[in-house]
Amino acid sequence: MSDQVNSFAINFIAVVGIVFLLLVVVGGIVAVTLYQIDKHQTAQTIRRNYPLIGRFRYMFEHLGEFFRQYFFAMDREEMPFNRAQRAWVYRAAKNLDSTIAFGSSRDLRIPGTYYFLNCPFPTLEEDAVSTQPMQIGPYCRQPYDAPSFLNISGMSFGALSRPAVQALAQGAKKAGCWMNTGEGGVSPYHLEAGCDIVFQIGTAKYGLRDAQGRFCEDLLREKAALPQVKMFEIKLSQGAKPGKGGILPGEKVTAEIASTRGIPAGEDSISPNRHPEIASVDDLLDMIEKVRSVTGKPCGFKMVLGDAEWLDGFCDAVTKRGIESAPDFITLDSSDGGTGAAPMPLMDSVGLPLRESLPLLVNKLMAHKLRDRIRVVASGKLINPTDVAAAICMGADFVVSARGFMFALGCIQALQCNKNTCPTGITTHNPELQRGLVPEVKADRVAYYHRHLVHEVEMIAHSCGVTEPRQLRRKHCAIVVEGSRSIPLNILYPEY
């Protein structure tokens, strides 16, 4: 009997061993197969950069949908962008259904929350009209008829990788919007797709500097001769770091980026905290006129508003010189704007948020009868339809977004933009990480994101009873203040 038991035990162990061995072999074959599939697929950056292991992210992301209320932050709790905001962008970029069920997870009592004041008789679909191109720079030799109210904000080649710039440029071409170069200058990757370009002139004059680092008019003429370059933007300040210039670590200054910027490779690229030649309102207007006269194209400036007293002097100076001397546009950045690298005190505590500065700027322009002359471009954390529509209600002619389009590329908010380790290949120059970002695939997502955001802003406009977004006014939007009550924007910020 014992021999039979021993024989059975031995056979059982042998069978188990064989089964285990088969499972190991089959598991190994499956793992190798999945590894090769992930490595060569182009739809998902994480899986392409981290074959097989990267699948766990999507599994955990899916499980988090059910367990986050116990172990993770809620949908509306994260900063700088919460999960609900990111999820909307991801769905829009993938051209998926963006509807939700049961009820909003948004706390409607928090100060700063926007409500749109719908009318009893919304605009019918057959009565709606498409937003028409708006002209910028009527006094220029080559004014620009900007086709879309939503555009890609300044992100420089250097802060962004080559495939990220390529994907954004291709996506901008498909979407019919402009792409701002950021302060790093225009590269071949901005131009190859054929999209409209806004050339940003940063404080270090990257792309426009001679061997001594001085502003070079010959290089400006060279860039203006590019038919894709439609406008020039003088960067005075940026939302995440008012009063400080750009910061690009030396490890991200490759030979190609150094050539584009006109600086040495491998050294930290630190921009001055302002343009040395612009120390007053008159200096600013002189610089705008110089760029406009040399290029023949519209020229404006980008700023973060803090102290607003100087705006009256600025408007008076424009009126004194003549209305044609005005900047063709002003890009107004918010204190909660983003960047690749900035000191925390500046990012956290300097400058006004857009909800305060935008109506203030628009009112100043109205008071000095310059509103119709100067186009206003709103920037800063505008990635969802609600915030874009609110900016238009407050007076913006155009809206630009950087991080929204980064999410469309696949950004997972890893908060590693200031390093060379971005896991999605967007802000790194590591070729192994860049290979996961396939421009041809991500360009479609950029275009889908643009299309869905524009469509849903139009939907808000129609709910308010107007036929297209630029007809939205402050009376169409309210904002929650202390005490959890809302006040219409035209009451909180009366128009001049």
pLDDT at position 77: 65
pLDDT at 417 over 60: yes
For residue 49, name the pLDDT band (cuts at 50, 70, 90). confident
pLDDT at position 153: 96
Between 96 and 14, whose confidence is greater?
96
The identity of residue 151, as a single letter, is N
pLDDT at position 53: 77
Q: What is the pLDDT of residues 168-191, one digit of tens each?
A: 999 999 999 999 999 999 999 999
- Check residue 214 and give left, alpha or beta (phi > 0: left; psi -120 to 50: alpha): beta
Between 345 and 118, whose confidence is greater?
118
Using alpha carbons, list the distances in angstroms from residue 305 to 302, 374, 446: 10, 16, 29
- Check residue 153 and give left, alpha or beta (phi > 0: left; psi -120 to 50: alpha): beta
Between 99 and 77, whose confidence is greater?
99
For residue 134, name the pLDDT band (cuts at 50, 70, 90). very high
Q: What is the pTM of this model?
A: 0.85
pLDDT at 115 over 60: yes
- Three-state SS string across the chain, please? CHHHHHHHHHHHHHHHHHHHHHHHHHHHHHHHHHHHHHHHCCCCHHHHHCCCCCHHHHHHHHHHHHHHHHHCCCCCCCCCCCHHHHHHHHHHHCCCCCCCCCCCCCCCCCCCCEEECCCCCCCCHHHCCCCCCEEECCCCCCCEEECCCEEECCCCECCECHHHHHHHHHHHHHHCCEEECCCCCCCHHHHCCCCEEEEEECCCCCCCECCCCCECHHHHHHHHCCCCEEEEEEECCCCCCCCCCCEECHHHCCHHHHHHHCCCCCCCEECCCCCCCCCCHHHHHHHHHHHHHHHCCCEEEEEECCCCCHHHHHHHHHHHHCHHHCCCEEEEECCCCCCCCCCHHHHHHCCCCHHHHHHHHHHHHHHCCCCCCCEEEEECCCCCHHHHHHHHHCCCCEEEECHHHHHHHCCCCCCCCCCCCCCCCCCCCCHHHHCCCCHHHHHHHHHHHHHHHHHHHHHHHHHCCCCCHHHCCHHHEEEEECCCEEEEHHHHCCCC
pLDDT at position 44: 81
Q: What is the pLDDT of residues 201-211, one digit of tens each?
A: 999 899 998 88
Q: What angle do CA 289, 271, 332 make, to 5 degrees?
A: 55
The stretch 109-120 carries a mean pLDDT of: 92
Q: What is the pLDDT of residues 340-368, one digit of tens each?
A: 666 777 767 777 899 999 999 999 999 99
Q: Which of 39-48, 235-244, 422-431 has the highest mean pLDDT?
A: 422-431
The stretch 10-20 carries a mean pLDDT of: 77
Mean pLDDT of the chain: 88
pLDDT at position 220: 96
pLDDT at position 32: 73
